[in-house]
Amino acid sequence: MEAHLHFIKDRLFGLHVDRPLIISGPCSAESEEQVVATARALAALNRVHVLRAGIWKPRTRPSAFEGMGRPALAWLRVAQEASGLPTAVEVANSRHVEQALAAGISILWIGARTTANPFAVQEIADALKGTDVPVLVKNPVNPDLELWIGALERVNKAGITQLGAIHRGFSTFERTRYRNKPNWEIPIELKRRVPGLPIICDPSHICGSTELIQAVSQTALDLNFDGLMIEAHIRPAEALSDAKQQLTPHQLDTLLGQLVFRHESIDDVLTRTKLVELREKIDKIDRDLLEILADRMSVAEDIGYYKKDNKITILQSDRWDEIVHNRMKVGLEKNLTAEFVHKLFEIIHKESIHHQSRVMNVAASVEETPTLDELTQEHQGESVRGKDQQQ
Ligand code: PEP
Ligand code: MN
């Protein structure tokens, strides 16, 4: 379905800054001293355009720090005056909108958990009616582009024309190297469906730790995102929320200094988009490969239990020989070199033996079991225990 959005395209939320727009600040406002010190340090970098801080924190578990609430709005005001940076906070209901606007907050954003709930977004949109505050909508926690566009439409229908989106990644049940998987194809599709909509990337919530922030930020810039929202705290180790992913202002300075800001033609952007898509495919295939290998190891363990019960040794030269020849033949049919397939199965076989030997040696203190080294020598053709060694 077509997206029905009418927004201001040529200014980033009323701010006269060149792309990329940099929003930074702590995950949460914790004390006046922390917010003001962070704001001053960020402003001194001369690279940051907007100060962010969470006041009301949507936390997964009820025992976590849920933000300082209304009193923290006054600290942001002090921070704004001290640093000269406009401020941005997350709102999740109509009360938050009213209190943030009354406190003179410059930009509001809707968090990922809220975007996933149309009732909450509608309540916020209704509270925004008659105002002209810039609003940024984070992607919903689940990878659903329609839900994201729907939230943007609700806010837009309420009369908000200074509109933007924030890409903060998507949660998954499976463990990945990211806290929230970027699924770049989703913001790319948002760009295609809503041309000109400013999109900011939030690498902090995508990564969940500081290591990958640089690489994710660079990818976002290479994909022509309009800005970055990166969490920074004057003392990250003491942070009451998201301590692992917050940078010091100094680290942020280094990171921003190392990013390459390219001016790209449409062709470049398309090429990079393609590359990102292909890399996502590779990532998926690698994950599947690991799943399959883990399944293979668990079957090897079942064999191990069987062998243990029946007092059969682990290695079986004939079986191994048959595996190698058969797999090399199938590999050749699939355009894989014999050398590669041979080496690959040697490693897989070694790991299988390791799993079997672990299973067979549990509580098997009296039975003498070959060590892994002995077994692997057997692989290489040197029989350690004679011909009857079985896999
Ligand atoms: C945040 O920005 O601190 C936050 C809670 O983000 P998200 O809504 O992306 O989880
Ligand atoms: Mn956070």
Please name the residue ranges forming H helices in 112-244.
112-115, 118-128, 145-157, 185-193, 203-207, 213-222
Contact between 89 and 114 under an 8 Å Cβ cutoff? The reply is no
Contacts of 280 (CB under 8 A, 6+ apart): 183, 184, 185
- Please state, in angstroms and rounded to a whole number, the distance separating the CA atoms of residues 94 and 130: 13
Decide: 5 in ligand 1 pocket, CB within 6 A.
no
- Please state, in angstroms and rounded to a whole number, the distance separating the CA atoms of residues 125 and 117: 12
Is pLDDT above 50 for 168?
Answer: yes
Q: Whose CA is nearest to atom 10 of ligand 1?
A: 112
Ligand nearest, relative to CA of residue 171: 1
Average pLDDT over residues 68-94: 98
Q: Got the DSSP string for 274-285?
A: HHHHHHHHHHHH
Q: Ligand 1 pocket: which of 52, 202, 213 to mutate (most atoms <8 Å of CB)?
A: 202
Average pLDDT over residues 222-245: 96
Is pLDDT above 90 for 161?
Answer: yes
What is the separation of C-alpha 8 from the centre of its chain, rounded to a whole number of angstroms? 29
- Please state, in angstroms and rounded to a whole number, the distance separating the CA atoms of residues 182 and 225: 13
Is pLDDT above 60 for 89?
Answer: yes
* Residue 322's pLDDT band (cuts 50, 70, 90): confident
Decide: 26 in ligand 1 pocket, CB within 6 A.
no
C-alpha torsion 173→144→241→66, nearest 10: -110
User: What is residue 82's predicted lDDT score, i.e. its pLDDT?
Assistant: 98
Q: Is 171 exposed, middle or buried (0-12, 13-18, 19+ CB in 10 A)?
A: middle
User: What is residue 374's predicted lDDT score, i.e. its pLDDT?
Assistant: 55
- Please state, in angstroms and rounded to a whole number, the distance separating the CA atoms of residues 199 and 109: 13
Going from the Cα of 113 to the center of ligand 1, the distance in angstroms, rounded, reads 8
Nearest alpha-carbon partner for 264 in 316, 224, 293: 224
DSSP state of 259: -
Domain locations in the chain as residue ranges = 21-263, 274-379
Contacts of 81 (CB under 8 A, 6+ apart): none
Of residues 132 and 26, more confidently modeled: 26
Going from the Cα of 112 to the center of ligand 1, the distance in angstroms, rounded, reads 6
Contact between 229 and 235 under an 8 Å Cβ cutoff? The reply is no
49, two tokens: 């355009």
Is pLDDT above 60 for 279?
Answer: yes
Going from the Cα of 286 to the center of ligand 1, the distance in angstroms, rounded, reads 29
Query: pLDDT tens, 250-270?
Result: 999 999 999 998 776 666 666
Residue 251 φ/ψ, nearest 5 degrees: -65, -35
Average pLDDT over residues 22-44: 98
- Counting atoms of ligand 1 from 1, which one is nearest the CA of 229? 2
Q: What does each C-alpha distance from 315 to 99, 104, 361, 369 come to in angstroms? A: 71, 74, 14, 11
Contacts of 306 (CB under 8 A, 6+ apart): 312
Decide: 167 in ligand 1 pocket, CB within 6 A.
no
* Residue 385's pLDDT band (cuts 50, 70, 90): very low
Query: pLDDT tens, 197-228?
Result: 999 999 999 999 999 999 999 999 989 899 99
Which residues make up the environment of ion ligand 2, defined by Cβ < 5 Å?
A: 27, 242
Decide: 307 in ligand 1 pocket, CB within 6 A.
no
* Residue 370's pLDDT band (cuts 50, 70, 90): low
Question: Among 211-220, 324-333, 376-385, which stretch is predicted with the lowest mean pLDDT?
Answer: 376-385
Going from the Cα of 373 to the center of ligand 1, the distance in angstroms, rounded, reads 50
Decide: 205 in ligand 1 pocket, CB within 6 A.
yes
DSSP state of 139: P
Q: Whose CA is nearest to atom 6 of ligand 1?
A: 111
Contacts of 204 (CB under 8 A, 6+ apart): 27, 213, 229, 230, 231, 242, 245, 246
Contact between 144 and 186 under an 8 Å Cβ cutoff? The reply is no
Decide: 168 in ligand 1 pocket, CB within 6 A.
yes
User: What is residue 360's predicted lDDT score, i.e. its pLDDT?
Assistant: 82
19, two tokens: 């792309």
Query: pLDDT tens, 109-149?
Result: 999 999 999 999 999 999 999 998 999 999 999 999 999 99
Query: pLDDT tens, 282-306?
Result: 988 999 999 999 999 999 899 888 8
Decide: 110 in ligand 1 pocket, CB within 6 A.
no
Nearest alpha-carbon partner for 43 in 246, 232, 172: 232
Q: Ligand 1 pocket: which of 168, 179, 181, 233 to mutate (most atoms <8 Å of CB)?
A: 168
- Counting atoms of ligand 1 from 1, which one is nearest the CA of 111? 8
Domain 274-379: assigned CATH number: 1.20.59.10
Going from the Cα of 383 to the center of ligand 1, the distance in angstroms, rounded, reads 59
User: What is residue 122's predicted lDDT score, i.e. its pLDDT?
Assistant: 98
* Residue 377's pLDDT band (cuts 50, 70, 90): low
Q: What is the pTM of this model?
A: 0.72
Going from the Cα of 231 to the center of ligand 2, the distance in angstroms, rounded, reads 7
Looking up tokens 């892994």 gives 372
Decide: 150 in ligand 1 pocket, CB within 6 A.
no
Domain 21-263: assigned CATH number: 3.20.20.70
Q: What does each C-alpha distance from 127 to 86, 155, 161 come to in angstroms? A: 21, 10, 15
User: What is residue 367's predicted lDDT score, i.e. its pLDDT?
Assistant: 42
Decide: 54 in ligand 1 pocket, CB within 6 A.
yes
User: What is residue 266's predicted lDDT score, i.e. its pLDDT?
Assistant: 61
User: What is residue 382's predicted lDDT score, i.e. its pLDDT?
Assistant: 39
Q: Ligand 1 pocket: which of 136, 137, 141, 205 to mutate (most atoms <8 Å of CB)?
A: 205
Going from the Cα of 293 to the center of ligand 2, the distance in angstroms, rounded, reads 35
